[in-house]
Chains A and B, each alone.
Chain A
Amino acid sequence: MVGLAPAFLALTFGLHITMVNLGIGLAWIVPYLKWRADRGEKELEGVARALMRFYAATYGVAGVFGTAFTVFLLSYYPHFLGFAGDITMIPFGLAIMMIVLHFFSISAYWYGWDRWSRKTHYFIGFLLGTSALLIPLGFRAVFAFLNIPAGLGYDLVHHKFYLDVTAALTKNPTYWPLYIKSIVAAFTTTFLVVMGTYAYKYFIAESEEERAAALKTAKMFAKPAAIGLGLMLILGLWYAFSLENVPYKFNNVFASLGWSVGEGKAYYNVSWLFVLKILFYLFQVVAVAYAVPALLKGRLTKTHGKILLYAGVVAIITIAAGEYLNAFSQYPFFVAVWPDILSKQVPLSKLASYGIHIPAQALPTVVNTVNSVVLLDNTPTTHHILQAMGIAKFFPQTSPVNQIAVEGPVVALTVGFLAFLLIAAAYLVFYILLWPSKAKAEQVVEAEEQY
């Protein structure tokens, strides 16, 4: 059982990250379709526009929930954010600059459609795609840091923590597997979603042109989706092997399935979530194996279309499941390897191999500082884990959560507002953006006029 603060963080993060994954894929797909449309495949122009519209909306939702996540993080765990802010200038800084560039590119690409020269439009499309890949380069460095704080150091002269960025990027065994797996997962999911949507749209399209465009689009992404699914298996294993360096996290996922490291004990067992994720993955594999050959051979039936659509939906859910698995497998710790260090599952001598440099004299200060910010919760589950691991004495008895941020009125406000705005957002996305337009004649005239 998790407390309110982690629950709200999980909710906002889940909504954010699924939308972000679609955004990474669409940031390349949309400019690619537009480029092909410009080269003569006119039927793809409408598809590119429709996907861009969807992309802009999903990215807006992703941005809002990403901001909500950081504000929640600030409110619930100010000390952790203060600590992280002191040392993560480079990875966060890179991500932020790319976010700005990405937002700018989205606006310029969308509102400038047919208003820029083609070369300029392609260039903005390139910025769009590149920034989409560079944002997670920074953020995943932070996530990998939360697995193993590679590159962390303590400066005895100035009495401060610092981060050796080179070590953080090269000596963290979880960084590159996590980053590459995330990018491939984002593309695979987007391919599946686009393929599924257009395979289904083929049967509900109102004109022959739309049907032809839908079929062409679905076919275009069928093979990449299948290849992506294959790659995910390899990359998933790579990331899993890298997590062997973090016994607490690794065992929480795999120990009860018979694969363990160290003492082999799962203190917060999330293997069920892993199994669920695998089932989702298998559904996608089966769906693709069943329907893609029919799609490619021109024998697509409505059942095939529906199955591919479901595969797209399940792919999105799989993303959320994977992210939750990654996050909750280290619950209740912000830094996954920390309980292993305290309980000596990971010896101090091994830290140097991750580029972690803590002088012996600074050890008590470092341990106390990290202990004061590393916990997520003080629920009975947390106490049980700390007691079972024999590390309870290291932690304060007071709540690690900023209690004034989880007072009753604030929680009620949060729930009420989130519910209201989720409904409004759903109305915006599904009715306003995606539903076929039934324009009022007078306003259409106004809208089409030049300004």
Chain B
Amino acid sequence: MSAVAHWSSYPAAGDRLLSFIGIEIHWAILQYVLGLPFMAFIALLLYLRSKDKAWMRFARTLTKGFIIVFAVGAATGTTVEFGLVLLWPHLTEAAGRYIYFPLYAEIFAFLMEVVFLYMLWYGWNKLSPKALAAIAFLGFLGAWYSASMILSVNSYMVAPTGVMPAYKPSGVYLYSQGYPKIQVYMPKDLVPLLNVTALKTAAHVDILGVASDSVKVAIPSSVVQELVREAWSGVKLQNSVLIHFVNKTTVQHLTLEQVQAIAAKLGVPTASLAGAKTPVEMLLSIPVKNVLDYILITTVKHIGFMSITFKSPVYPATLMHTIGSALTVSGFTVLAGYALRLLRMPENADPEYRRYIEKAFKFAAIFAALVIAYQGFIAGHEMGRAVAYWNPEKFAAIEGTSEHILSLSKLLHTDKIMPLIAYGSMNAKLPSYDKIPVNYCKCSLTGSPPVQDCRPPIFLHYVYYTKIGLAVLLGLYGLIVALVVIRDKWSLIDKTLNLVRIRGGTVPSRFWLVLAPVAAFTAQLISTLGWAVREIGRKPWTIYGVMTVDVARTANPAPAWQLALIAIFLLSIAFGLIYAVYRILWVQGKPRTG
């Protein structure tokens, strides 16, 4: 199957593509809101320490940069928010019900960003430099706080708290035992209504422990996704897979009033039970959604409704990696801006202006080199380890462990050291893509979800290695430019650079400066590819092991032409923004007259 065919074989291809465009535009802008205020804060600290006006001027330019993109970032954020509601209303509903807290707390972060970032911009001439530094600190803190909230939700979607993966690094596959599984707390008042023996033997449900009000169980994701599907399709227990596991003997011995009480607890109105004549009939007329809601709310309360998403096993790595990505993109973009200024510096330029531009360029060079090193050696590594442990299917795809493709990792012989990098042991084994059952996500009773292959597309391998290759090149470029700007500090560096024929002063030659805008674009591209790997690698799941894309999707999908129209509109706005930033920030404007 071709890459495009495989990608589009999962449901809701158009909606997914539109969401990707919308979210990617938002993210492309947001990286500057995360990175530039942080850089401005450091520049203000440098000004406070040195009283060198060049730092103040640098901070002001960075502030101007992010204040322009911030408004459009906020607008695209609103688009993303509403886009999620309209394209994926069932996902949004589930998020609002069970993992609402980070989304809720994010709004305060957003308020913080708006207030302090605008205060920094508009208060520049009214506040002292110390106050500006303090506000810049609060501004970037607001932006990072905002990101940390949203990323916790995304992390939960990648690896929900309580997920039990289907692969062990020792080479053991657990799919035949119903893995991956999701841990939930089954309320004790529901347990007697279920046939536990049947659940254990036929559905591979494991009992993990007993809590005060519930029993902790691990349910195969193939069953969980089916229950979620039924819940959002309005199915009642009588038509649910659960009917095979209802303990009818126990239910028959209940009175109608007792069943009515159970239904009331589950939030079912009395009027909707009116037609039922026996306790079993009454129980089976309860919607699956009410039952599932009771189970999930009990689970969320046990894990912690304010902390559940932060306990996602991939959250720490995600946060580190994403902030790192934003800093990298910001660093290389600032570097590119000042490189262009150096390239167009007139011979007779004001020496103060030249000094300022060179200082800012050097700062950006060192900053970019440091953050990309952090990305590669620390954050990226941790992210890779998290994926290897918690998303083995995705890991198998990105490492290309299939016999049916040309594996770049085998070609480069990196597959030999990958077990050590991913699992910390040379004895560990990478999961084989070919050994992952194509139907591992499907409910055997109903055959849902409607996908041909439950595994993520194997072409991710090439996307991922393109990303890694570009990141290595970017890192090398960043390293060289950083070494050039500090060559006067250490003679060893100077000698080394001379050895590789990179001669001259502490300002790189024209060749390296011309490459800077390419580097900035590459940084954005790497970031985009990273998100593509993360999101496409989760398919066919929207929430891994819980909800598939076809369930998350709206019941009334828009026709392709409407989606295309919206995509064109969003892309036009994005290009409009790029042009506006170019005109407003780059092209010399007329001085104000008002």
* Residues of chain A having any CB pair with chain B under 8 Å: 45-46, 49, 57, 60-61, 63-64, 66-68, 70-72, 74-75, 77-79, 81-89, 92-93, 95-97, 99-104, 106-108, 111-116, 158-163, 364-365, 368-369, 371-372, 393-398, 402, 404-405, 407, 409-410, 413, 417-418, 421, 424-425, 427-428, 431-433, 437-440, 442-444, 446-451
Contacts and interface: CB of A to CB of B under 8 A. Distances in A.
B75 A432 contact: no
Contacts of B115: 421, 424-425, 428
B306 to A, nearest CB: 7
B217 interface: no
B124 A424 contact: no
Instruction: Please report whether the interface of chain B is mostly helix, strand, loop or mixed according to DSSP.
Output: helix
B108 A421 contact: yes
Contacts of A112: 580, 583-584
- Tier of interface size on chain B: 35 or more
8 contacts: A74-B100, A92-B85, A103-B72, A107-B68, A402-B96, A404-B300, A405-B100, A439-B125
Nearest to A80: B93
Contacts of B81: 67, 70-71
A143 B74 CA distance: 24
Counting from the closest, the 6 A-B pairs by CB-CB distance are A82-B93, A85-B89, A78-B96, A103-B75, A439-B125, A398-B267
Contacts of B53: 442, 446
A112 to B, nearest CB: 6
A396 B269 contact: yes
A206 to B, nearest CB: 16
A79 B93 CA distance: 6
Given A100-B78, A159-B234, 7 more contacts: A64-B111, A96-B78, A100-B76, A159-B233, A163-B556, A398-B264, A448-B591
Q: Max chain A CB contacts within 10 Å: which of B53, B82, B94, B593?
A: B82
Contacts of A93: 82, 86, 558, 566
B99 to A, nearest CB: 10
Interface string B88-101: 01101111110011
A395 B269 contact: yes
Given A78-B92, A107-B68, A437-B126, A67 B107 contact: yes
Contacts of A75: 96, 100-101, 103-104
A87 B89 CA distance: 10
Interface in B249-266: 264-266
A203 to B, nearest CB: 22
Nearest to B580: A108
A82 B293 CA distance: 14
B152 to A, nearest CB: 15
Contacts of B106: 71
Given A75-B96, A116-B583, A410-B101, A443 B85 contact: no
A84 B89 CA distance: 8
Contacts of A102: 75
Instruction: Please report whether the interface of chain A is mostly helix, strand, loop or mixed according to DSSP.
Output: helix
B114 interface: yes
B2 interface: no
Given A57-B118, A114-B593, A100 B108 contact: no
A402 B98 CA distance: 9
B57 A449 contact: yes
Nearest to B555: A160
Contacts of B49: none
B301 A398 contact: no
Interface of B: 53, 56-57, 60-61, 64, 68, 71-72, 74-79, 81-83, 85-86, 89-90, 92-97, 100-101, 103-108, 110-112, 114-116, 118-119, 122-126, 128-129, 233-234, 264-272, 297, 300-301, 305-306, 554-556, 558, 566, 569-570, 573, 576-577, 580, 583-585, 587-594
Contacts of B61: 451
A60 B270 CA distance: 46
B569 A81 contact: no
Q: Max chain B CB contacts within 10 Å: which of A95, A409, A410, A439?
A: A410
Contact of A86 (B111, B306, B554): B554
Nearest to B53: A446
Contacts of B119: 424, 427-428, 432
Contact of A443 (B77, B94, B124, B268): B124
Contact of A85 (B86, B105, B566, B576): B86
B587 A81 contact: no
Nearest to B588: A450
A104 B554 contact: no
Given A74-B100, A82-B93, A446-B57, A115 B590 contact: yes
A102 B569 CA distance: 13
Given A100-B570, A421-B108, A88 B100 contact: no
Contact of B72 (A107, A413, A433): A107
A181 B412 CA distance: 68
B114 A365 contact: no
A89 B111 contact: no
Contacts of A67: 74, 77-78, 81, 107, 110
A398 B559 CA distance: 38
A89 B558 contact: yes
Given A96-B82, A398-B265, A68 B111 contact: yes
